[in-house]
Structure 1
């Protein structure tokens, strides 16, 4: 006969898909009743409208049926305000939920002892593919087995959710926001909080406050290996806020082969160096177009990436050709901008990710 202890033990392996912690550990399993091969129980969700309720139901039922149960009846409830506050404190390592008027809680990801590597991806001007590089580098790092997050810090020109085909909104529990997980990458963007692609008409201080909220209020879960920040182009307020907020961040500068684009991108690199940040390398995007016969056409000229790397005294991490992912909307993991791992450009991003990992691991030993 199935016992309550067996049910709890089986459910220890079932995780809340947003928090990535065991339902048992989070005290979400209640009122287990067993009558022969019939099991009933209550699952208490963080919020009543949990977007992944169906996933949780399927996982719980499958785990209990694996014990030999013929029928599983689930009831769903929602945590009380007190339970949510206790959960937030638990996830933040025992810190109490902040009271109105108090300074924001320090997110462990920004603590001095954090082992997360911050990589800011920037460019001198828009339209060079900075966000495409950010998204595909993040996915490639995740494919290498790394824990990765993205902050879409381009508040005015946010595009990461659309590029990754993310339609879900983040769950908000009290003062805590849970990022969206896609392709193994945890994503946070201003785009999640804007209705119908409306323009963001804010001044600099409000943008800086939103960026700080992405650090102080977002629960990234277990510590990330890499957190990529997709910065707005140029050297404005947001870029300066990031440099001041994360003095240890590394920088990748994206350009096209065109000499003028590289000349403008040098300003973004110079800003990073003046604020004490290290340039990890340069990515030359749209480096060439490969025709069907295998020949290369250098649509935007040649040499801009190498020249920029020389100017900034850093490595040319990758040259990415013009292309479009061969993804179909009917595919389960469809996205308009993420290249498949075994595609030609996908392989280039995997090689780039390995270079980034190697360079960061060398830095960590120094």
Structure 2
């Protein structure tokens, strides 16, 4: 039934305009575009009743949607009160939603491989564990999201997943689960970043003991069944080394560029060179080198090189020669207690301590990656000759 407006009451057009500003927390699009708004009525006293359709009965964001809807409608002139009723979409309505999001038929392909995709994909790699690769990944993602970019993370380190904890998606040993709409998976969002990890599908600290084909299938499902929407940047946190997952990423996302994380130690740079040199076999580009744990600033202002110095620059020079293309040293991140504390507390340092030395270095790296031009070769521009 259409809204009934009195001479002093709110107009339906104003109410719907207000609802266009209510964003679904998981899909990141207005609820009006997603077909989530049902009946909208107004009584003679200006009290509004709004029906909102949820994707599933157990929608974890139902309270947020209800409060955001009530707040938006309550700000419309002439509204004296708001009642929000939450119902569940029918099978037909869910199918219509999936087609709005993924096109007719709900294609299960990898959207980032589409010819018109402008998503920049960074596969963050390291030669060995313990160099802070995951911390670098989540902080770069959060820094870019804070600039207004649409960012996602795939935690591809299936054996050693840590991204949910670093992003605050794990509380008291329980990791927030994604929402399922039939076969489509909606990833949780933290700090404006959409995140998916195998850690969201296992119980507690249960180990994952899979062989190569299962690893490939899990990564493929993350890229096909998880709905990220239109992203500006997608990060993949790879396991250390050059094993099955690194090869699968090259096969599933041939446009992915490699970011190599190392420490200043020369021995670490030797190992990390292999992680970057895999680009010769996969045909990928190495976007750059990031040196983590570069130095420690002492209370008197002096610098201590706990893990040596020069490893990052040495690695960038070696990879430049190996892949026969410029590989820059994007930045050097110092040892910083704020970075460690942020990781332990699920609050990336670029968010919880933006003035810290580590956050400043990470912000500079994020600025470089965000400002890199994207080529238009092969893209459909929608222009026809006159």
**TM-score normalized with structure 2 length:** 0.87
Which among 26, 35, 45 is matched to residue 54 of structure 2? 45
* Number of the residue aligned with 2:99: 89
Q: Is the contact made by 1:327 and 1:336 (CA closer than 8 Å) also made in structure 2? A: no
Which among 207, 222, 232 is matched to residue 215 of structure 2? 207
C-alpha distance in 2, partners of 1:145/1:87? 25
Q: Is the contact made by 1:135 and 1:338 (CA closer than 8 Å) also made in structure 2? A: no
C-alpha distance in 1, partners of 2:64/2:134? 30
Q: Does 1:193 align with 2:201?
A: yes
Matches within 5 A, 1:75-86: 75-86=85-96
**TM-score normalized with structure 1 length:** 0.91
Aligned-pair distance for 1:328?
Answer: 8.2
C-alpha distance in 2, partners of 1:328/1:257? 22
* Number of the residue aligned with 1:309: 316
Compared CA separation, residues 171 and 231, structure 1 to 2 (3 A): same
* Number of the residue aligned with 1:291: 298
Q: Deviations over 1:27-52 (max 9, x none)?
A: 22222232122111221111111111
Which among 251, 255, 260 is matched to residue 253 of structure 1? 260
Which among 320, 331, 338 is matched to residue 325 of structure 1? 338
The two structures, once aligned, show a CA RMSD in angstroms of 1.9
C-alpha distance in 1, partners of 2:304/2:161? 31
**Structure 2 counterpart SS, 1:22:** coil
Q: Deviations over 1:172-209 (max 9, x none)?
A: 11111112221221111111111112111111111111
* Number of the residue aligned with 1:101: none
Q: Is the contact made by 1:325 and 1:336 (CA closer than 8 Å) also made in structure 2? A: no
* Number of the residue aligned with 2:23: 15
Q: Is the contact made by 1:325 and 1:337 (CA closer than 8 Å) also made in structure 2? A: no
C-alpha distance in 1, partners of 2:192/2:24? 15
C-alpha distance in 2, partners of 1:365/1:212? 26
Q: Is the contact made by 2:113 and 2:255 (CA closer than 8 Å) also made in structure 1? A: no
Higher mean C-alpha deviation, range 31-40 or range 151-160: 31-40
Q: Is the contact made by 1:284 and 1:318 (CA closer than 8 Å) also made in structure 2? A: yes
Aligned-pair distance for 1:117?
Answer: 1.0
Q: Deviations over 1:210-230 (max 9, x none)?
A: 101111111112x21111111
C-alpha distance in 1, partners of 2:38/2:252? 42
Compared CA separation, residues 107 and 241, structure 1 to 2 (3 A): closer
Q: Deviations over 1:228-283 (max 9, x none)?
A: 11111001001100011111211111111111111111111111222111111111
Which among 159, 179, 185 is matched to residue 187 of structure 2? 179
Q: Is the contact made by 2:153 and 2:237 (CA closer than 8 Å) also made in structure 1? A: yes
**Structure 2 counterpart SS, 1:241:** helix
* Number of the residue aligned with 2:349: 338
